[in-house]
Structure 1
């Protein structure tokens, strides 16, 4: 398949035309299909042209049913893959394409994304001799089976850009530099295998890898402030455009902790600063976080995956979205004349750096103090004023007009949201007593569990919970029998490890 997507050190090109990537991350498994259209409306209102999503292998490749004694499972067959409802990846991509959005598809196999098991099917744990994310035959065979299936479906559905579809970039693996030291040379060999697999599958579009890359793919940046890494990226990859795959709009929330918030002004500063220095594209992670349905989230994750994103969990735009939308309009308007940003360093003004995008001038203040008496001469006018601390002002180099100030949210862009208490509808509640198993009654409890299969596994040491439940439940009981040695009386000490939560019973009474 011939590629319609190319790149040089400054930009990606689609059919020979430069393409400024303004992208937002959304995860189809965290959305309801009935709201896809409402979501895509926010992309258009904000001036985004690209959608990014991971592919969640574990959501499509279900775990086998629980058995009394876990045993190795064979490779999952494509007929067992689930692409229904909110898991319908291909319908999601078609819907994005119908709204004229390009797609960056991050296939995994590992995705992180705060999902259970990092996106892997839990059944992989039972494959003999498997080692994850390294040059291991058992693991790579499983990965290849899955990725080849996805690649085949993408091409059969004509979803790749050279076929007229939306997918313009493809990623295998994810943030490998975070774990590469633990794997050493064999880890690097595995990462190169991933890059070679992308080439072998002939997606017809460039391959990318974020936060660590193998030869033959474009390396991208994940960060809060990517402009701090752009010079190092250019030194390592002089022929590649700088792409910010994950611009973190906030952070995920966990139970019992304060909500993470990132101010709109700080996010806008980071993005404007990135493009001023010559960034070729940005992806907001997340643009809209969505909801962790069922048991899909990783440990301690809150049900909401809000991420303090520009579009909230209820598909509503926020002040953050509107503030960014103004920046996007300026960037798109000036991009065609802005291929080679030039830099002017003011030696007498610490923290101030000026970049010119054709007839747009980016005045960047990286210091903690505002810059006063800033003067930018244009052809027909000039700008005089201040530039706030940690902000970027974009000036029209012709008229001297202030086009955008990252530190100031326009009055019309302020969104206030009221929480209205909904009436509580009383219903019939029922409770069920869960008997606590002991050494003497565990078999009886297993047999009288409301028709559910509750296997009992015995051993000299407690098995790992995932091995015991095969990821079908977040709960299990461990029962141990012990006897005191010696004649001393007093407190008994029992030591064990648990993660992340355990309730301890002793002689049938809860201890804590």
Structure 2
């Protein structure tokens, strides 16, 4: 075996070992800490079901070339569970493949499990109408309701286990550094009263119990209240930092929210719809 070939094999081995190494992810009041180093990064939102799987490598590399450090995406309940307890992770729903590509590109990943996700979703509450349990007697959505919480926990556990098996969480050597549960609950919490507060507390406990080994997050902020724009604490920047969508894409296959609702989620994203 030639000296040059040996050197090449050593370089490949080092590259593979570094890309698969476990990463410790922590956080404090000031932000996220990865392997003891505080990180501030630009994060891009790319929703994988809103594009084809053939588009993913190009979208991810263009995001990286644009200075992005992490890719985040919702997990859409309705497309992954089109019928109650019948799951689909094929084609452009291969979420594990998305994060594998993110990892291969040298980027971090953020998984937003929800399972309620907002964002002009594929159904008014992602998954509920498609799965068929929205008409279940006694069910109330996104509140302290045992029937709904059981369905939510079942789907969340399904996703978390799938990600664990694929070794996609950072401490497993994967790219995912943060996982989100629920979404934008601050818009509606007052309407639910005490039951809403109990529900969001349950969400937090349920997420922690999943033992995902990365920081769990709950996004409870309100959206589009720009007339009352100010930092929510003295350490926050007085600027808008959440122009989230890097590639909006399209709701394919007649999966729009309803009649006369656009299939586009462009949002003036840096990468056009197609």
TM-score, with normalisation over the residues of structure 1?
0.46
Take 1:49 and 1:224, find their aligned partners in 2: how far apart are those partners? Answer: 27
Range moving further from structure 2, 182-191 or 117-126: 117-126
Shift of 1:295: 2.5
For 2:112 and 2:98, the matched residues in 1 are separated by: 14
After superposition, give the CA deviation of every residue in 1:441-473 in whole Å (9 maximum; x if it has no partner).
xxxxxxxxxxxxxxxxxxxxxxxxxxxxxxxxx
Distance 1:55 1:205 in 2: 17
- What secondary structure sits across from 1:171 in the alignment? strand
Matches within 5 A, 1:382-461: none
For residues 227 and 271 of structure 2, what CA distance do their matches in structure 1 show?
Answer: 22
What runs of 5+ residues in structure 2 fail to find an aligned partner?
1-21
* Count of residue pairs brought into register by the alignment: 249
- CA distance in 2: counterparts of 1:211 and 1:226, whole angstroms: 19
1:62 to partner: Cα distance: 1.1
* Structure 2 residue corresponding to 1:54, chosen from 74, 90, 105: 74
Name the SS for the 1:21 alignment partner. coil
CA RMSD of aligned residues (A): 2.4
1:223 positional shift? 5.2
> Which residue matches 2:18?
none
Which residue is 1:295 aligned to? Answer: 254
Q: Distance in 1 between matches of 2:107 and 2:261?
A: 30
Task: State the distance in 2 between where 1:161 and 1:225 align.
Answer: 35
Alpha-carbon separation, structure 1, partners of 2:161 and 2:223:
29
SS of 2:230's partner is helix
Aligned match of 1:207 = 216
Offset at residue 25 of structure 1 (A): 0.5
Following superposition, the deviation at residue 225 of structure 1 comes to 6.3
Q: Distance in 1 between matches of 2:52 and 2:137?
A: 37
Report which of the two has the higher share of strand.
1
- Alignment of 1:307 onto 2:272: no
Matched, 1:112 2:118: yes
3-state SS, counterpart of residue 151 of structure 2: helix
The answer to whether the Cα contact below 8 Å between 1:62 and 1:82 also exists between their aligned partners in 2 is yes
Q: Distance in 1 between matches of 2:226 and 2:191?
A: 26
Name the structure 1 match of 2:147: 138
Q: Contact between 1:50 and 1:103, CA under 8 Å: does it hold in 2?
A: yes
Match of 1:198 in 2: 207
Between the aligned partners of 2:106 and 2:203, the Cα distance in structure 1 is: 30
Higher-helix-fraction structure: 2
The superposition leaves residues 115-165 of structure 1 with CA deviations (integer Å, 9 ceiling, x where unpaired) of 212212311213221110001111011111111111111111111011111
The aligned residue for residue 58 of structure 2 is 38
Residue 160 of structure 2 is matched in structure 1 by: 151
Partner residue in 1 for 2:95: 89
Q: What is the DSSP-based 3-state SS (H/G/I as helix, E as strand, rest coil) of the residue aligned with 2:177?
A: strand
The 8 Å contact of residues 230 and 238 in structure 2, kept in 1 or not, is answered as: no
Task: Identify which of structures 1 and 2 has the higher relative contact order when contacts are C-alpha pairs closer than 8 Å and 6+ apart.
Answer: 2
Deviation at 1:30, TM superposition (A): 0.2
Structure 1 residues 410-462: Cα deviation after superposition (integer angstroms, max 9, x where no partner): xxxxxxxxxxxxxxxxxxxxxxxxxxxxxxxxxxxxxxxxxxxxxxxxxxxxx
Hey, what's the Cα distance between the residues in 2 that align with 1:274 and 1:133?
31
- Residue 164 to residue 291, structure 1, CA distance change in 2 (3 Å): same
Structure 1's 225 and 45: CA in aligned 2 closer, same or farther, altered over 3 A? farther
Does the C-alpha gap of structure 1 residues 284 and 4 become closer, same or farther in structure 2, counting only changes over 3 Å?
A: farther
1:98 Cα deviation from its structure 2 partner: 1.0
Residues 1:121 and 2:81 are matched in the alignment: no
Counterpart of 1:229? 230
Distance 1:307 1:135, change over 3 A: same
**Residue ranges of structure 1 left out of the alignment (5+ in a row):** 64-75, 213-220, 235-240, 243-271, 276-281, 315-512
Larger Rg: 1
Aligned-pair distance for 1:291?
Answer: 0.9
